[in-house]
C-alpha cells in the first residue's frame, strides 16, 4: 500500500469494504448459492424486515426469455401456493427482480433429498420406506384436494428435512410440471410429440397420452415406483433408450419386489404392486386409500432415518444439482465424467424435467443421437482403459519418493485379503508415483496402533475400529473415502442354522455349538455377537463350544457338515455357497445385523494436505462401475467396485452397537 492508499482517518463502514448483495423487491437479501440447475438457481436469503431465513428460487436469465420456462415457473408458484400442508414445501411469496425475472420465496430446509439418501444407502428398510411413502401420500392428498397433480415425482423431488427438534419431515418439491385442475388434458403432451416428466416414474397413461385426462392416479403410480426403488435398491424398469424403457413400462412385466429382496414382507409387496398396476383402475384410487394400506402393515416394520451430515439446504430443489468437486487431479475422471454431461445436454439422459420423446418418428431421430453419443462415450472409455493399461504395463518407470504403507486387517485368509487389496495398492503406486506397500495387520487394535505409530500411512479401518480411533484427540484422523461393492456402501452379517435343525430363534442357541469366521471379522464375529448380546444372550456363557472357519465360505461348510449348530457369516456367503454346491435352501436365517458400513480409508491429521488431496483424488477416481474402476478392480460380484466420499456420520450405526461390540474387541 502506498502512502496515497492509506486511510486518512475515521472508521471504515462494513459496506465500504464488502459490497452488499442483491436485494429483491426491497425485501429479500440474497446470500450464498445453494443449488443450481437448468431452470435457474436457489439462494439462501434473509427477509430484511423479519430477519427470517428463506430460500429464493430465481429463474435464469435465459429461462426468462423462454415463455414455456416462465409459464412452468408460474405454474409451480400457483400449484405450491395453493397447497398448505406440512409435507409440501411452503411458498411464502413470489415476485420479479429489477430485470423482470420471476422468483419464488420458499421455506429454507435442512437435510437431504431422497435421491441423495438412496445413493448413499442404495436400499432402505421396509419400515423407513413405508414412513417416507406415507408422508408423500399425505402431501399428495392435500395437493389433489386443491386440484394439483404432481407429474414428476422422483427421489430428487422428495426431501427429508431435519426439524429444529431433531425429528424429520418429508417434503415434496418442484411442482413446475404439475397439472392444475384448470389445465386441459392436452398439456400432458407437448406440441412436439414429447411428454414431460422422468421416464422411470411415469405412469403408462402418462407415456401414451391416450384416454381420459390425467388424474391423481399418475402420482399414485409414481409412489408405487418410489416404494419399489426404496425397498429393493433397484428401479422396476430400465432401458438403454427411452423407447425401450417405455415399451417395458407399457408391457407391465415387472419382477416382484421379493424376488429382489426376500426380506420384504409379502403384504408390502402386494401394496407396491397394486400401486404400480398397469391399468389405473386397478391401482389405489386416491392417496388416502394407498396410505391406509401402508398403515395396516407399517406398525410391524421398524425403520430408522439413516444418519445425514450437514447436507446442502434445498440443494436438490433444482433438477440438476451442482456436482461436488473432485479432490486432486484425476484428469481421466474429467474425461469420462464429461460423457453423461454431454448426453444430458443433448436431451438423452433424463436427469432433469426435460421433454422426453414418445416412441414415434421423434424417437428414431433421438435414437440416432443416442447411438452417436453412446459411441463417443465408448471411445472415450476405451481411450481411458488403454491409457491405464499402458501405464500399468510400462516397466521402464520406477516410482520414487517415500513408501506409502497401506494397512488392512487380515480379516480372512491372507491370500484372499491380499488378492482384494493388492490391485488397489498397485493402482495407488502408479497414480501417486511412489512405492506403495501392502501391510496386513493382525486385528483392529493392531492396525490402529500401526497407524498412530507411523508404521502405516493409509489405513482401511473397519467401522468399529474407525470410531475407536477417531476418539483420539491427537494427532487425529482425516476421513478420505469408503469402498463400495455391488451390494452398495454397507453390508450385513447373518446368523444361520441348518434348515432341518429345529433351531428357530436366538433363544434356541443356548448351549449349542457355534462357528465364527475369525476374531477380526466384523460380519463373521463382532456384529453377530453384538446382536446376541442385544437379545440378552451372552455368547461366552450361554452358547456351547465355538470354532473358527477363517473364511466365510469355509465357515458355511462347517455348518453344513454339522460341525456346529449355528454360524455367523457375511450375507453374500449364501450366494457363494450356491455357486460352490451348497444350496442356500439348506439354511435358515435366525437373525441379521444392521447394515455395517465398509472400511473407512483414513490418514493421520498431520499428513501434508497435498498428500491427503492426492490420495483422496486417486481413490475417488475409482468411481463405482466406471471403466477405470472395472479395469483396476475387476467386477466380481460382492467385491469392491469403487470408492465414494465418506462422512463421519456414515459410521453412526457402529456407534449404536459399540457397547455390545466392545466386549469382544481387543484393548
Neighbours of 562 (CB within 10 A): 10
Enter the C-alpha cell of residue 667: 484393548
For residues 273 and 257, what is the distance between their CA atoms, to the nearest angstrom? 8
Backbone angles phi, psi at 497, to 5 degrees: -140, 165
Backbone angles phi, psi at 482, to 5 degrees: -140, 145
For residues 106 and 161, what is the distance between their CA atoms, to the nearest angstrom? 14
Q: How far apart are the first and last CA of the chain?
A: 59
Neighbours of 79 (CB within 10 A): 24
Note if 99 is an active site residue.
no
Contacting residues for 529 by C-beta, under 8 A, at least 6 apart: 539, 568, 660, 661, 663, 664
For residues 44 and 32, what is the distance between their CA atoms, to the nearest angstrom? 6
**3-state class of 106 per DSSP?**
strand
User: Of 4, 93, 99, 152, which one is the catalytic site residue?
Assistant: 152
Neighbours of 478 (CB within 10 A): 16
Contacting residues for 547 by C-beta, under 8 A, at least 6 apart: 513, 514, 515, 516, 558, 563, 564
Pairing of strands 148-149, 179-180: antiparallel
For residues 431 and 422, what is the distance between their CA atoms, to the nearest angstrom? 14
Backbone angles phi, psi at 575, to 5 degrees: -65, -45
Backbone angles phi, psi at 218, to 5 degrees: -70, -35
Q: Are 400 and 430 in contact (CB under 8 A)?
A: no
CA dihedral 645, 650, 655, 656 (to 10 degrees): -160
Q: In what order do the strands lie in the sheet with 28-36?
A: 23-24, 28-36, 40-47, 53-59, 102-106, 91-96
**What is residue 488's DSSP assignment?**
B
Q: Count of H helices and E strands in the chain?
A: 23, 26
Rg from Cα positions in the chain: 27
Which strand (E) or helix (H) includes residue 514? strand 514-516
Measured N-to-C along each axis, helices 242-251 and 361-393 cross at an angle, to the nearest 10 degrees, of 120
Closest CA to 201 of 299, 265, 259, 275: 275
Specify which residues 437 forms β-bridges with: 405
**What is residue 523's DSSP assignment?**
I
Backbone angles phi, psi at 406, to 5 degrees: -105, 110
Closest CA to 135 of 169, 90, 84, 108: 169
Closest CA to 77 of 128, 155, 148: 148
Contacting residues for 117 by C-beta, under 8 A, at least 6 apart: 124, 155, 160, 306, 308
CA dihedral 325, 326, 330, 331 (to 10 degrees): -10
**CA distances from residue 608 to 171, 403, 457, 611, 623 in whole angstroms, order as listed:** 42, 15, 11, 5, 24
Burial code (b: 16+ CB inside 10 Å, e: under 16) for 597-617 equals: bbbbbbbbeebeeebbebbbb
For residues 309 and 342, what is the distance between their CA atoms, to the nearest angstrom? 30
- State the catalytic residues: 152
Amino acid at each position: 500500500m502506498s502512502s496515497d492508499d492509506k486511510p486518512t482517518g475515521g472508521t471504515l463502514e462494513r459496506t465500504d469494504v464488502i459490497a452488499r448483495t442483491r436485494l429483491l423487491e426491497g425485501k429479500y437479501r440474497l446470500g450464498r448459492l445453494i443449488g443450481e440447475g437448468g431452470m435457474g438457481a436457489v439462494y439462501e436469503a434473509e427477509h430484511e424486515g423479519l430477519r427470517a431465513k428463506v430460500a429464493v428460487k430465481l429463474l435464469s436469465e435465459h429461462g426468462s426469455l423462454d415463455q414455456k420456462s416462465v409459464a412452468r415457473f408460474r405454474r409451480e408458484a400457483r400449484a405450491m401456493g395453493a397447497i398448505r400442508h406440512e409435507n409440501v414445501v411452503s411458498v411464502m411469496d413470489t415476485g420479479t427482480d429489477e430485470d423482470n425475472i420471476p422468483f419464488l420465496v420458499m421455506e429454507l430446509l435442512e437435510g437431504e433429498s431422497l435421491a441423495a439418501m438412496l445413493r448413499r444407502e442404495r436400499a432402505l428398510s421396509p419400515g423407513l420406506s413405508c414412513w417416507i411413502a406415507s408422508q408423500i401420500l399425505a402431501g399428495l392428498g392435500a395437493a389433489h384436494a386443491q386440484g394439483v397433480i404432481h407429474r414428476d415425482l422422483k427421489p430428487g423431488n422428495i426431501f427429508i428435512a431435519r426439524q429444529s427438534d431433531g425429528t424429520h419431515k418429508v417434503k415434496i418439491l418442484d411442482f413446475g410440471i404439475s397439472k392444475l385442475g384448470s389445465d386441459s388434458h392436452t398439456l400432458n403432451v407437448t406440441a412436439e410429440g414429447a411428454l414431460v416428466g422422468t421416464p422411470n416414474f411415469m405412469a403408462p397413461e402418462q407415456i401414451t397420452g391416450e384416454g381420459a385426462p390425467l388424474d391423481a392416479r399418475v402420482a399414485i403410480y409414481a409412489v408405487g415406483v418410489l416404494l419399489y426403488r426404496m425397498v429393493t435398491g433397484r428401479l422396476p424398469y430400465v432401458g438403454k433408450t427411452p423407447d425401450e424403457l417405455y415399451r417395458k413400462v407399457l408391457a407391465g412385466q415387472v419382477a416382484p419386489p421379493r424376488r429382489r429382496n426376500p426380506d420384504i414382507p409379502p403384504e408390502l409387496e402386494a401394496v407396491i404392486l397394486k400401486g404400480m398396476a398397469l391399468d389405473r383402475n386397478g391401482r389405489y384410487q386416491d392417496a388416502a386409500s394407498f396410505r391406509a394400506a401402508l398403515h395396516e402393515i407399517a406398525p410391524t416394520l421398524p425403520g430408522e432415518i439413516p444418519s445425514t451430515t450437514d447436507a446442502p439446504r434445498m440443494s436438490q430443489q433444482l433438477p440438476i444439482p451442482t456436482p461436488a468437486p473432485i479432490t486432486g487431479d484425476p484428469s481421466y475422471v474429467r474425461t469420462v465424467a464429461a460423457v453423461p454431461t454431454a448426453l444430458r445436454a443433448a436431451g438423452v439422459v433424463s436427469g432433469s424435467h426435460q421433454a422426453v420423446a414418445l416412441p414415434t418418428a421423434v424417437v428414431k431421430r433421438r435414437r440416432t443421437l443416442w447411438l452417436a453419443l453412446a459411441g463417443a462415450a465408448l471411445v472415450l472409455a476405451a481411450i481411458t482403459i488403454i491409457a491405464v493399461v499402458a501405464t500399468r504395463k510400462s516397466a521402464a518407470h520406477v516410482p520414487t519418493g517415500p513408501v506409502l504403507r497401506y494397512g488392512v486387517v487380515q480379516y480372512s485368509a491372507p491370500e484372499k485379503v491380499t488378492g482384494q487389496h493388492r490391485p488397489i495398492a498397485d493402482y495407488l503406486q502408479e497414480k501417486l508415483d511412489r512405492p506403495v506397500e501392502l501391510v496386513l495387520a493382525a486385528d483392529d487394535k493392531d492396525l490402529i496402533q500401526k497407524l498412530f505409530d507411523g508404521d502405516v500411512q493409509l489405513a482401511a479401518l473397519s467401522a468399529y475400529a474407525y470410531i475407536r480411533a477417531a476418539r483420539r484427540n491427537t494427532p487425529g484422523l482425516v476421513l478420505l473415502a469408503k469402498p463400495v461393492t455391488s451390494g452398495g456402501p454397507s453390508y450385513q452379517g447373518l446368523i444361520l442354522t441348518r434348515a432341518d435343525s429345529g433351531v428357530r430363534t436366538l433363544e434356541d442357541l443356548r448351549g449349542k455349538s457355534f462357528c465364527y469366521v475369525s476374531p477380526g471379522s466384523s460380519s463373521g464375529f463382532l456384529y453377530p455377537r453384538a446382536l446376541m448380546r442385544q437379545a440378552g444372550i451372552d455368547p461366552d456363557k450361554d452358547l456351547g463350544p465355538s470354532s473358527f472357519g477363517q473364511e466365510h465360505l469355509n465357515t458355511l461348510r462347517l455348518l453344513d457338515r454339522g460341525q456346529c449348530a449355528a454360524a455367523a457369516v457375511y450375507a453374500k456367503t449364501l450366494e457363494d455357497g450356491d455357486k460352490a454346491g451348497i444350496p442356500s435352501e439348506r439354511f435358515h436365517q435366525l437373525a441379521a445385523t444392521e447394515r455395517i458400513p465398509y472400511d473407512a480409508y483414513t490418514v493421520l491429521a498431520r499428513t501434508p494436505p497435498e498428500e491427503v488431496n492426492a490420495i483422496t483424488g486417486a481413490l475417488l477416481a475409482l468411481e463405482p462401475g466406471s471403466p477405470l474402476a472395472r479395469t483396476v478392480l475387476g467386477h466380481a460380484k460382492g467385491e469392491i467396485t469403487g470408492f465414494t466420499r465418506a462422512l463421519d456420520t456414515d459410521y453412526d450405526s457402529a456407534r449404536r452397537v459399540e457397547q455390545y461390540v466392545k466386549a469382544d474387541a481387543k484393548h
